[in-house]
């Protein structure tokens, strides 16, 4: 898994790459939670453009961060999921509760 993070205006922008599966889910969960604990983060944007596969454990990490931020009045926005990943997000129901945009500028513009 590849992970790159950027902090902008109470928003954590996370660019992910590779497989988001059981092998990396715990590491990703800890990394995101550490960032959410350390900084004043209201919103989370997950750029999934380079994610090639996601399983239920990866979905669980995303849903957990969604619940945490939603309880604080924030949101999680998904960006640029590839067709095979987007299909899994649709089937899981995550796209019914989270916003989805094709690119980062559009996602960032919806936060303000």
Is a pLDDT exceeding 90 seen at residue 104? yes
Number of domains in the chain: 1
Q: How far is residue 98 from each of residues 38, 39, 77, measured CA to CA in Å?
A: 24, 22, 6
pLDDT digits (tens, 9 = 90+) for 11-47: 999 999 999 999 999 999 999 999 999 988 999 999 9
Q: Is the pLDDT of residue 112 over 70?
A: no
Supply φ then ψ for residue 44, to 5 degrees: -130, 125
- Residue 62 belongs to what domain range? 2-111
Q: Predicted confidence band at 59 (pLDDT cuts at 50, 70, 90)?
A: very high
Confidence band, pLDDT 50/70/90 cuts, at residue 111:
confident
* Verdict on whether the full-model pTM lies above 0.85: yes
Average pLDDT, rounded, for the chain? 95
Q: Alpha-carbon distance 83 to 61, whole Å? A: 20
What is the pLDDT at residue 16? Answer: 98
Q: Report the CATH number that the domain containing residue 34 is assigned in CATH.
A: 3.30.750.24
């Amino acid at each position: 898994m590849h992970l790159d993070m950027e902090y902008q205006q109470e928003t954590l922008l996370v660019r992910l790459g590779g497989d988001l599966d059981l092998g990396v889910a715990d590491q990703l969960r800890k990394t995101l939670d550490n960032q959410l604990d350390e900084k004043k983060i209201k919103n989370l944007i997950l750029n999934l453009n380079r994610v090639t596969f996601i399983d239920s454990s990866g979905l669980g990490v995303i849903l957990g961060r969604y619940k945490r931020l939603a309880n604080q009045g924030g949101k999680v926005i998904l960006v640029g999921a590839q067709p095979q990943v987007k299909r899994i997000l649709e089937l899981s129901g995550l796209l019914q509760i989270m916003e989805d945009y094709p690119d980062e500028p559009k996602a960032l513009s919806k936060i303000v």
